[in-house]
Structure 1
Amino acid sequence: MDYSVGCPMVTPFEDDGTLDRASLRSLVDHLVAGGVDRLVPCGTTGEFASLTDAERRSVVETTVEAADGRASVMAGVGGTAVADVRERIAAAADAGADAALVVAPYYGGQAAPAGNERFFDAVAAGASIPLYLYDIPSATGQSLAVETVASLAERGRYDGIKDSSGDLTHFDELLDRTPDSFEVLQGWDAQYVPSLLMGGDGGINAVTHVRPAALGRAGSAVADGDVAAARAVQFDEIDPVFRSAAEHGFAPVCKAILARRGVVENAAVRPPLVALDDATASELVERLED
């Protein structure tokens, strides 16, 4: 079985805070060369909440152009207003994206399952590209009910989900309650190999910035029935990067390492994020060097 390897791409910035399209193209080349087959710009690690709609469109367009068919592009279109999300889906489609990733509403606290289902149904109306759900309770303040996901999946409104709940029981229930054609993708890097062993379809994981080939090796080992090899990749290659990113911030850590390796020009992030200081960045690069 081939497992999808996706990257929730950082958004490179110039020193003055503007988009760095040259570094974005370099990042695409770096990821594709490492075996990433699904590029996901404008997600959480891509600082989507700090981008204007014009910048989002530019990031997606540049990613599509740089990928040039070598990997699919799933554009993040997160927002809390249905009309805005619909417009972002249309813009992503116009820019050449293959699919769009729709995060759960992230303001207002825990919504009723019926309210979330209405939101996702309304967002999907008229969409011309496949849509994927994105569940990340640590950022949105709520977790999508399995019943909501199952209903949307069974009715063909969405083609899959990125599950960043960090809850393997929840992940297992998603696999059990959704059609086989519905992609259940792991977004919590520390659970990548366990999720494949449970029947997951792959993942969208920030670790791919630093070790783009690791998830492919893990997937190949699982497909070959070599659980020991898959666990070794999880423990030795994926987990150290994930722990560092969880401690210091995913975008700051990934950008710091990419900048030290020359993949992107610098490690600039936008407020409220803060870039790593030189000492921390140097220590991380040394510790995580392949």
Structure 2
Amino acid sequence: MPIPTDDPIVIAPMPTPFREDDAVDHGAIERNVQRWKETELCGFVLNSENGEEAFLSEAERLEIIRTTHRALGGERLIIAGIDNPSVTETLRLAEAYAHAGAELLRIRIPRLTTNIRGYFEQVIPRAAVPVIVIHQTAPGMFLQTGTTASTSPEMIGEIVAGDNV
């Protein structure tokens, strides 16, 4: 689906439903998507912190994207979340997520690196699909520039001013 241009653009994080045995409930994902397609939502963020990202394997995250992609039938936008400080791993995941059906990537600013600008200079132009930069670094660290887990609002502005963002 093309990126929406009409205001308002309303995107929601998709919670991941689980069965009693802790497996991802793909049937529930499909049912939820059918309900949400009846709303004004333009798309969904998958595999984010609100989608239980930390509790899912890579295979589970990919299958969630595939299930959602099939259920949406191209009618809504899929944004896949990545939270990884490694440029190589971020690019590998970006390619896999795009291949599975993600049209955009939500990439969190790395919390464990002092080279945030360099990270994004390497990731953004090489990402398989456009990137949304999420500004959550470490709690309470946003304005403490110079720490290993922070960045300034000015740097974020510079990062998102480029192409493919």
Q: CA deviation at 1:131?
A: 0.7
Q: How many residues matched?
A: 153
Output one character per residue of 1:48-71: Cα deviation in whole Å (capped at 9) or x when no partner.
121111111111111111111111
Question: SS at the partner of 1:136?
Answer: coil
Aligned to 2:132: 132
User: 1: CA distance between counterparts of 2:125 and 2:94?
Assistant: 10
Contact 1:86–1:123, Cα closer than 8 Å, also in 2: yes
1:55 counterpart letter in structure 2 = E
Question: SS at the partner of 2:158?
Answer: helix
2:91 counterpart letter in structure 1 = R
Contact 1:9–1:39, Cα closer than 8 Å, also in 2: yes
Q: CA deviation at 1:124?
A: 2.1
| TM-score when normalising by structure 1 | 0.49
Match of 2:63 among 58, 72, 89: 58
1:34 counterpart letter in structure 2 = T
Output one character per residue of 1:230-267: Cα deviation in whole Å (capped at 9) or x when no partner.
xxxxxxxxxxxxxxxxxxxxxxxxxxxxxxxxxxxxxx
After superposition, residues 151-230 of structure 1 pair within 5 angstroms as 151-158=158-165
1:148 counterpart letter in structure 2 = M
Say which one has the larger Rg: 1
Aligned to 2:152: 145
1:122 counterpart letter in structure 2 = Q
User: 2: CA distance between counterparts of 1:140 and 1:103?
Assistant: 16
- Percentage of matched positions with identical amino acids: 24
The answer as to 2:93 corresponding to 1:83 is no
User: 1: CA distance between counterparts of 2:60 and 2:72?
Assistant: 18
* Structure 1 unaligned spans of 5+: 159-290
User: 1: CA distance between counterparts of 2:140 and 2:55?
Assistant: 15
User: 1: CA distance between counterparts of 2:101 and 2:140?
Assistant: 28
User: 1: CA distance between counterparts of 2:40 and 2:13?
Assistant: 14
Q: CA deviation at 1:19?
A: 1.0
Output one character per residue of 1:132-168: Cα deviation in whole Å (capped at 9) or x when no partner.
101124659545422222222333242xxxxxxxxxx
1:66 counterpart letter in structure 2 = A
After superposition, residues 251-270 of structure 1 pair within 5 angstroms as none
Question: SS at the partner of 2:132?
Answer: strand
Aligned to 2:145: none
Greater helix share, structure number: 1
Contact 1:121–1:157, Cα closer than 8 Å, also in 2: no
Question: SS at the partner of 1:61?
Answer: helix
Question: SS at the partner of 1:63?
Answer: helix
| TM-score when normalising by structure 2 | 0.83
More RCO (CA 8 Å, sep 6+): 1
User: 1: CA distance between counterparts of 2:53 and 2:40?
Assistant: 24
Aligned to 2:77: 72
Contact 1:57–1:92, Cα closer than 8 Å, also in 2: yes
User: 2: CA distance between counterparts of 1:82 and 1:27?
Assistant: 33
* Structure 2 unaligned spans of 5+: 1-5, 143-149
Q: CA deviation at 1:126?
A: 2.0
Aligned residues: CA RMSD = 2.0
